[in-house]
Structure 1
């Protein structure tokens, strides 16, 4: 297994809006970063025709209570270079595995972030307060993540507000968390939600895009992104069952620079 250790990287000057990895420009020395090659499989692989996920060097996962058995040190050695962990949902749901996953990921040295699944029937202010009440502001965390998609199968909320309302609620949530945690959250979304709500109009935000049947350039057009969720059926040593797979948009050096900028 190849392991890359980086000592000097490029870092973007701090600003209130985050630039993509390709725009990291201001040099400075940062702590070493170890990048492990991904030894991942897929229970239902897609036949990629464009740029393939394995062409990116930095891979990671996202998970929730449904990944109940995780050997984090093994997963880390097999390519889990970052983990996005579900924390909260709506204004009153806490993922029961969040604290365990968070502490175990930290103990294994996996850079990690907490994400919130947004409900369109609860005010953004209420949801932001719920996230803040359950996700500690601690050194080493990656920026929080706002997960926005349609809740088509929700037993309590299938509401679809107009795009202007969607974007306004998102900005409220992002602003509150940005002030509390000291850095702007990353936005996760799906192809349909992106198109339905003209999220390309959210200039300057940082995105994590889901696209399991085509490279983001094919499904989102010229959208800028930092993370790409390319599979929902991943197989990772150390994790029982299937798990979502992701890549970071840039090189190992860009990843180290992103970490230096975006870690709390």
Structure 2
């Protein structure tokens, strides 16, 4: 009941602030974009230290089947600049909504790409082949993403040594690079990043950090995307959704798109 009350308050506050053109608050309460920029809320907003995600002009989502039916025109109208859609997991699971979301985002003209959740009980080659079977090689799609984090699964509880992790992940991303013509982006979490010395990789990164700016949680690491919440509220989507920012200006985003959407 308390959670429902918080969500109702967040949605009502979002509507009022959006109508007033209010700026993003810096303390507890709903989080709202500024002016004509993205207009999103958060059911569990965070008191940010070291930098504020709401100030970034380019924001986007990552989604999976749990988001259900989506009104993509409302999503686009809210200020969403890109969407990453879960496609596959391990070597035998495909998200049942991937194909539908892939087609719907194309019709809504939202730049989108696909991501793969890596399992440590399958080889990198098996998982790359599974991803390729499920994700079209399509001109104009965003680069594929390799999601590297410790899995919480009864079917695959393994935590292999770093040398094995990096070897199999490298095989996966090299196969995708050859097939799609774009080098995959690496999504990761704070604990996985530290445990496996991923900082040594000369790759493009998408960093999860929901309790602090990446410059604090990943000191010295360059990145292109930052996932800052898993409790976002976006018009057109029921319930919570992950929200991300592009680490650059609107002009830099257009430049990034021109070089990465082949």
Q: TM-score, normalised by structure 1?
A: 0.85
Q: For the residues of structure 2 that align with 1:90 and 1:59, how far apart are their CA atoms? A: 28
Q: For the residues of structure 2 that align with 1:49 and 1:64, how far apart are their CA atoms? A: 29
Residue aligning to 1:222? 220
Post-superposition offset of 1:261 = 0.5
Q: For the residues of structure 1 that align with 2:138 and 2:147, how far apart are their CA atoms? A: 21
Where is the helix percentage greater, Structure 1 or Structure 2? 2
Residue aligning to 2:81? 81
Q: Report matched runs for 1:105-254 at 5 Å.
A: 105-152=105-152, 154-203=153-202, 205-254=203-252
- Larger Rg over CA atoms: 2
Question: For the Cα contact (< 8 Å) 2:62–2:84, is it kept in 1?
Answer: yes
Q: For the residues of structure 1 that align with 2:236 and 2:55, how far apart are their CA atoms? A: 23
Q: Say whether residues 1:262 and 2:260 are aligned partners.
A: yes
Q: For the residues of structure 1 that align with 2:221 and 2:167, how far apart are their CA atoms? A: 20
> Helix, strand or coil for the counterpart of 1:69?
coil
Task: After superposition, give the CA deviation of every residue in 1:68-109 in whole Å (9 maximum; x if it has no partner).
Answer: 021001101101110010000000000000011111111111
- With CA pairs under 8 Å and 6+ residues apart, which has the higher RCO, 1 or 2? 1
Q: Say whether residues 1:61 and 2:61 are aligned partners.
A: yes
Post-superposition offset of 1:143 = 0.4
Show structure 1 runs of 4+ deviating over 6 A. none
Residue segments in structure 2 that go unaligned for 5+ positions in a row: 1-17, 19-35
Q: For the residues of structure 1 that align with 2:227 and 2:76, how far apart are their CA atoms? A: 18
Task: After superposition, give the CA deviation of every residue in 1:106-144 in whole Å (9 maximum; x if it has no partner).
Answer: 111110010000000000000000000010001110000
